Amino acid sequence: MDKLPHALRIVVDQLARLPGLGPKSALRIALTLLNQPEETTRTLGRSILELRDSLSLCRLCGSISETDPCQICSDPGRSEEQLCLVADWDALLTIDEAGFYSGKYLVLGGLLSPLDGMQSEQLATDLLQERLASGQIREIILALGTTRDSEATESYISNLIRRTNPEIRITRLAQGIPVGSELKYMDRETLKQSLNFRQQL
């Protein structure tokens, strides 16, 4: 890669940082971009910039949104009494697009994972504390999946809630889900069943 022209090497280095891309595929993408009509490449560049400028994180739930608070948090038709905790925004989308849950959400920003260096300080527990302090929540639904990391996160989060708000009901999605599965890949029907038959912790 040392012989690449400077401008090309910068793009290749940046692309190679993306998940699933090594230096070779990064170079292939960079060359494809270079071979496209100039306007196509410029449009892509501009859209990436606008992505950062026009989107932000909702201050209430931590989801990616064009408005703050996001559409879901500012929807008066949604119950304030149920709060569904998800690991990431993809999982929120999966549940919400299925269209049967009418409470609110909170995005934790990941799962505890000592091996990947994901510590409790990196989870959005500050957002959770703020939501608990509102006094409106009666049930927290943990929708974190069934991997080892999600179980560790479940017990950490439920202990945290019990310490400050023992009156809140804590539930998790029913375990019809195959072990090790990630919530964002679940189909609508399985998801609906696991919410209907959720278990009390």
Binding site for Zn ion (CB under 5 A): 58, 60-61, 69-70, 73
- Find the shortest distance in angstroms from Cβ 58 to Zn ion: 3
Residue 73 or 124 having the CB closest to Zn ion:
73
Residue 116 or 130 having the CB closest to Zn ion:
130
Residue written as token pair 């527990």: 125
Residue 125 or 147 having the CB closest to Zn ion:
125
- Find the shortest distance in angstroms from Cβ 77 to Zn ion: 14
Residue 58 or 95 having the CB closest to Zn ion:
58
Q: Which residues contact 93 (CB under 8 A, 6 or more apart)?
A: 184
Residue 27 or 87 having the CB closest to Zn ion:
87
Q: Count how many residues are written for the chain.
A: 201
- Find the shortest distance in angstroms from Cβ 69 to Zn ion: 5
Which of 114, 117, 126 has its CA nearest to residue 160? 126
* Three-state helix/strand/coil letters over 51-114: HHHHCEECCCCCCEECCCCCCCCCCCCCCCCEEEEECCHHHHHHHHHHCCCCCEEEECCCCCEC
- Find the shortest distance in angstroms from Cβ 70 to Zn ion: 3
**Quick check: bond before 69 cis, omega within 30?**
yes
- Find the shortest distance in angstroms from Cβ 190 to Zn ion: 25
- Find the shortest distance in angstroms from Cβ 141 to Zn ion: 16
Q: What is the DSSP annotation of 3-28? A: TS-HHHHHHHHHHTTSTT--HHHHHH
Residue 61 or 141 having the CB closest to Zn ion:
61
The residues facing 106 across adjacent strands are: 85
Quick check: 173 and 143 in contact, CB under 8 A? yes
